[in-house]
Structure 1
Amino acid sequence: MTRGAPTQRAAPVRGGFQRRLMLIFGMQLVAVVVACLMGYYNVAPASAVLLLIVIVSALAWLAAERSWRQVRKLAQWVGDWKEGQSDFDALGQDHLLRPVDADVATLARGFHNFASRIAGYNERERNFTRDASHELRSPLTVIKMSTDMLSDESSMSEFGQRSVQRIRRATREMEALVEALLILAREADNGQGEQDFVVNEVLRDELADAREMLHGHPIELQFEEPAAFALHGSPRVFAVLCWQLIRHASQYTGQGTVLVTVLPGVVSVSAAAGVAHDPLTTGQQGFEYAIARRISERFAWPLDLHVQGGNRYVAEIRFPQPLPVPAI
């Protein structure tokens, strides 16, 4: 719309819808009372009185239905609106029927503002995930390449080699953390390359990487698979979720064994601590568990954390729709 002299628009009628309904049903009540009195005093036959009541009721319904058109049009627009839709002009006051009721106009403006804010959130989410994905992953890639080249230097001291390995492990942990945060930042894109994958195979690869990242820590990772099943989803999301639970279990136990077990429709991560304490307290949950909990809620994979025997940490992820392992 070009700028210039403001166009004359009909101002919303304050409470007009309510007054119209009161007028319609008030007139209907008067007409029905008059028709009943006519029948009571034999001014008109009973059939004529009944016909008059029917006609008055029908006219009242048509008048009320005409007054309801604005609400119905607004409800139709809201019902057809989809998240991400950017065409909000149809919700403007000029597009509603005349006269515009103040309450209907307020609802239209409120939803218009709400839809505009949702569109703004979606745009900022796309910009953030796109920029963060590039700007965070690029330096991590450079660090990985640099550590690979440094590790090939034969003249490097033993202390330097250990430092390079620590940098490499920290880089891999940072990659996993960035991946988890980007997964949680994407509101609309839950697919992340969805496919059918075997849980046991993904866990074997993840545990190999986890052992490398935990190298130097007094933690032993063990894997038991009395069952096997597949899932339809993102194997990367599943791997990030399990890694966060392994990190949390490692911090809980401090030193010892972290056991990852595959049961029918369940993946369990357990560890024992030398001193009995409760990981469910606020101070013990930690950042890793918070990320794991949010991922499990996003993808509807229920996560349960509890303590057995006073000092054994057990985290179980349940998958409501496991798939059979495809035959080879």
Structure 2
Amino acid sequence: MVFRAGAFRRRIAWVFALQFVAVAIVCVMGAYDQAPLPAVIAVIVIVTGLAWLATSREWRPVSALARLISEWRDGQSDPAALEPERLSRRTDADLAVLARGLHGFAARIADYGQRERNFTRDASHELRTPLTVIRMSVDMLNDEAGLGESGRRSVRRIHRATRELEALVEVLLILARESDSGGTAEQFVVNDVLRRELETANDLMAGTSVELHLEEPARFALRGSMRAFSVLCWQLIRDACLHADAGRVVVTVMPDAITVSHATDNTAAARDGSERLSFELAIAQRISDRFAWPLELHTTGGPGVARVRFPDTLPLRA
């Protein structure tokens, strides 16, 4: 379909030109007493109303396109509704170009959303299934009576790497889904979730010099995704364990926040300052942005401290 460039401007120009001619003629007739004043005023009002109706009719395709965009819902609306072929032949070429660009953009967004859903569905199944098999096999191998000490150390390393990979897959799937809220919203006690995460971390850190401690000067609850909160805490604890210099990591529960602190080697931190935002902290930052839990990082000039604040805390039930 071929659209005429400048058609909208030409039609509007004709409307205003005809309005000007009609008003000029009736004003001249009134000035020479060829028409009474009430008739002159009535003609001017009628001509102005007709010009307004004609202009509104020409503007109708623009309004229809704007209404279609305002009611657009990703994943629910059909990109075919923006196809230029559905426009009237009287549509201006500029508006047709805009509709064609919006149609291409909507089609790409729809394709992206479909690829996202396919990827997360396949990754969720194809990655979790072999990880579950590996973990079960490692547990069975660990129960073997004839396994030597070196073999058990290798089994523990495989078990630790499997648990870390499971946590990584979990958080990447949360972040990959644009509409994923991290699970069903529920009310949970922050202290209880932290205690479970520290038990898991202690199991993974078995055989290392890292010591984990939980301090609870306060207790509070949250309403939201417990899975996302668990993954956020795990990423902070894991980063602290990887970078702890003195082998001691302290997790503290404050009235409206939690902190994860560890001693750092300031010389190494100054030398590798560009690398201080590790992969774990980058993931934690993305989770905090997604769920509006502000994350503050202090990694220089003293102990490394990561603090997560929670604007909407809940009091614990008696």
Class of the TM-score when normalised by the shorter of the 2 chains: over 0.9
Matched, 1:312 2:303: yes
Matched, 1:18 2:9: yes
Question: 1:261 aligns to what?
Answer: 252
> Out of 222, 226, 229, which is 1:235 matched to?
226
- What letter is aligned with 2:228? V
> Out of 189, 209, 224, which is 1:218 matched to?
209
Tell me how far 1:141 sits from its aligned partner.
1.1
Question: 1:49 aligns to what?
Answer: 40
Q: In the superposition, relative to structure 1, how do residues 287 and 307 fare at CA in structure 2: closer, same or farther (>3 Å)?
A: closer
Per the alignment, in what secondary structure is the counterpart of residue 68 of structure 1?
Answer: helix
1-side partners of 2:259 and 2:19: how far apart?
70
1-side partners of 2:266 and 2:295: how far apart?
24
Moved over 6 A (4+): none
Question: 1:130 aligns to what?
Answer: 121
> Out of 279, 289, 294, which is 1:302 matched to?
294
Tell me how far 1:79 sits from its aligned partner.
1.9
1-side partners of 2:236 and 2:173: how far apart?
18
Output one character per residue of 1:19-38: Cα deviation in whole Å (capped at 9) or x when no partner: 21222223223333334444
Output one character per residue of 1:154-182: Cα deviation in whole Å (capped at 9) or x when no partner: 11111111111111111111111111111
CA contact (8 A) 1:93 1:100 kept: no
Moved more, 284-293 or 258-267: 258-267
Matched, 1:121 2:115: no
Moved more, 249-258 or 227-236: 249-258
Output one character per residue of 1:190-234: Cα deviation in whole Å (capped at 9) or x when no partner: 242321111111111001001111223322111112222222222
Percent identical among aligned pairs is: 55
Per the alignment, in what secondary structure is the counterpart of residue 3 of structure 2?
Answer: coil
- Counterparts of 1:273-312 in structure 2 under 5 Å? 273-275=264-266, 277=269, 281-307=273-299, 310-312=301-303
CA contact (8 A) 1:280 1:306 kept: no
Matched, 1:30 2:21: yes
Question: 1:71 aligns to what?
Answer: 62
TM-score by length of 1: 0.90
Per the alignment, in what secondary structure is the counterpart of residue 285 of structure 1?
Answer: coil
2-side partners of 1:15 and 1:279: how far apart?
63
2-side partners of 1:271 and 1:246: how far apart?
10
Gaps of 5+ in 1: 1-8
Tell me how far 1:237 sits from its aligned partner.
1.1
CA contact (8 A) 1:91 1:109 kept: yes
Q: In the superposition, relative to structure 1, how do residues 249 and 41 fare at CA in structure 2: closer, same or farther (>3 Å)?
A: farther
CA contact (8 A) 2:189 2:222 kept: yes
CA contact (8 A) 2:239 2:281 kept: yes
Question: 1:175 aligns to what?
Answer: 166
- What letter is aligned with 1:296? S
Q: In the superposition, relative to structure 1, how do residues 326 and 97 fare at CA in structure 2: closer, same or farther (>3 Å)?
A: farther
Tell me how far 1:86 sits from its aligned partner.
5.3
Q: Considering only aligned residues, what root-mean-square deviation do their CA atoms show, in Å? A: 2.0
CA contact (8 A) 2:222 2:312 kept: yes
CA contact (8 A) 2:124 2:173 kept: yes
1-side partners of 2:155 and 2:233: how far apart?
26
- What letter is aligned with 2:260? V
Tell me how far 1:296 sits from its aligned partner.
1.0
TM-score by length of 2: 0.92
Moved more, 225-234 or 166-175: 225-234
Tell me how far 1:241 sits from its aligned partner.
0.7
Gaps of 5+ in 2: none
Output one character per residue of 1:244-300: Cα deviation in whole Å (capped at 9) or x when no partner: 111222233333321111112211111222435369943111111111111111111
CA contact (8 A) 2:134 2:162 kept: yes
CA contact (8 A) 2:245 2:263 kept: no
Moved more, 60-69 or 269-278: 269-278
Per the alignment, in what secondary structure is the counterpart of residue 221 of structure 1?
Answer: strand
Q: In the superposition, relative to structure 1, how do residues 271 and 98 fare at CA in structure 2: closer, same or farther (>3 Å)?
A: same
Q: In the superposition, relative to structure 1, how do residues 28 and 280 fare at CA in structure 2: closer, same or farther (>3 Å)?
A: farther
Per the alignment, in what secondary structure is the counterpart of residue 278 of structure 2?
Answer: helix
